[in-house]
Amino acid sequence: MSYFSELAFQYIDGEWRAGSGSWDIVDFNPYNDEKLASITVATVAEVDLAYRAAERAQPQWAATNPYSRRLVFERALRIVEDREEELAAAIITECGGTRVKAGFELHLAKEFLRESVHLALRAEGRILPSPVDGKENRVYRLPVGVVGVISPFNFPFLLSLKSVAPALALGNAVVLKPHQNTPICGGGLVGKLFEEAGLPAGLLNVVITDIAEIGDALIEHPVPKVISFTGSDKVGRHVATVAAANFKRAILELGGNSALIVLDDADIDYAVDAAVFSRFIHQGQVCMAANRMLVDRSIAAEFTEKFVAKVKTLKVGDPADPATHIGPLIHAGQAESITTLVDQTIADGARALLHGATDGNLVGPSVLTDLPVDSPVLTQEIFGPVALVIPFDDEDEAVRIANATPYGLSGAVHTGDIERGVRIAQRIETGMVHVNDGTVHDEAIVPFGGEKQSGVGRLNGDALVDAFTTVKWISIQHGRSQFPF
C-alpha cells in the first residue's frame, strides 16, 4: 500500500477522516524534499472527539479478559514481521533514517510488542494485612483510563508504540499525537497496525495537528489521566507544567548529553567502534547519543587518531543506499542550527579535527577538541553529527566532566576492569550507564529513563505498570467494627 497517500488522515473512533482545520501539515522527505503527504490539521473539536471516543470505548476494553486483549498484540507483531520491508522503506523515506537505523527501530518495535503481549497479564493486585481484627485489605491495579501520547520525529514508529502498546495492553485507551515531521510513521502507521490487528474502534485515536492549532488542548482536556511525552526538555517542561496544573500524571522522556568514558585500561579499538556508533547513529538525532568522548589523557592521542580515522570512513548521502551511514537531518532548520553551532564553537576556540560540510539537509560529521572550559556546547544536547573529544587526568575528573550538564539520560564506561567500570557508573548522574558498550540501548524489560532534565518517570518492563495503571484500596471488614461513638 502507499502509506503516504492512504494514511494522510485523522484516525478517530475507528474512522479515517480529514481534519477540519484551515491549513495543512505537509510531510516532506528530508533527503530530497519530495512532498509525501498533505494532512489537514485536527482542531480542538477533533481532539475532543478523539478523547470522547476513547472514553466511551475504554470501560469495555478494561473489562475484557486480558488473555483476549493480548491477542491483539500477537497479531500486531505478526503484521510488523510480515511487512518489515515496507515499514523500513517508510521510515527511510519520512525520517531520513538509514537502513541500519530503520532495522534497529523495527527490531526494538517488535520487542516492545512482544513485551506488551505479556504485559496484559502483569497488573497484579495485592492483599495486605491490617492491624484491625477481621479486616482484609485488597489493593487493586486498575487502568488509569485514557492516556495521551505525544511522540517525537527521530524514532517515530518505535517511540509511539513504546507508550501506545503498553497503555492498551493494560486496559487503557489512547489518543496519539505524532510529531508533525513524521505524521505517517509516528501516527498513521500505528493506527493502521492496530486497526488491522483487531483493536476495537475508539481505543486508539490518532490526531495530526500542531500546537499552533490546538494550543494545550491535548494536555488540558479533562479525559486523559496520564500524558506520555517524548521530546525536548524545553517542551517537556511545558508539558509537565500544564499536566500538573490539571492534576495529571506526566511521563517525560527527554533529551540527553551522554558521556562515553574511555579509561586507561580500555580496549581502544573497541571503544572507538562503540563511540562512533553511539555518536553518529541516525545522524546523532538520538537522545541517548554520546555527545562527549571523555578519554584518559594517557591514551587520548591514540584514541583520537583512530576515532577520527573511522569517522572519515562514514558515508554521507541517500539514506536508501545501504552503504550510507549518515543521512539527512530532519529539516533545513535543524541542518542550519547544527552548522551554526559547529562554526560558532570553532570561532570560540575549539579545534576541528574534522569539519563536516553542509549540503541541504545533509550535514557531514564534525569532531571537535580543545574546547574552552566555558564552551556552551559542553553542557547542551547536540542533535546532530558532532562529536566532542575531551581528555581527562583521573577518574574523579572524568566523573566531574560527565556530570557537568543539566542532562542525565545515558552514558558508557570502557575499561579492562568491569568492577572499576561499575564503580564509576554508579557515580554518573544518569538513569542508564553501560559498561564496555555504547550509549544507545533500549530493552523492553529494563527501566528506561533519565535524571535531572532528561525526564521524569520510567518506561519499559514493570515500570510500565506503574506508568499506566493506578492503585485502589478496597477493605473488607469481616465481622463488626468497634466505633468510638
What residues are annotated to the active site?
Answer: 253, 287
Beta-carbon contacts of residue 399 (< 8 Å; ≥ 6 apart): 424, 427, 428
| C-alpha cell read off for 381 | 544536547
Residue (of 362, 309, 315, 321) closest to 338 by Cα position: 362
- Secondary structure (DSSP) of 305-373: HHHHHHHHTPPBS-TTSTT-SB---SSHHHHHHHHHHHHHHHHTT-EEEE---EETTEE--EEEES--T
Beta-carbon contacts of residue 23 (< 8 Å; ≥ 6 apart): 40, 41, 213
Measure the CA angle with vertex 28, ends 8 and 81; round to 5°.
Answer: 60
Spatial contact of 74 and 51, defined as CB atoms under 8 Å apart = no
| C-alpha cell read off for 83 | 511487512
**Distance of alpha carbon 74 from alpha carbon 81, whole angstroms:** 11
Residue (of 97, 101, 454, 107) closest to 291 by Cα position: 454
Per-residue burial over 7-24, b if 16 or more Cβ lie within 10 Å, else e, is: bbbbbbbbebeebebeee
Beta-carbon contacts of residue 271 (< 8 Å; ≥ 6 apart): 260, 262, 303, 414
Spatial contact of 130 and 475, defined as CB atoms under 8 Å apart = yes
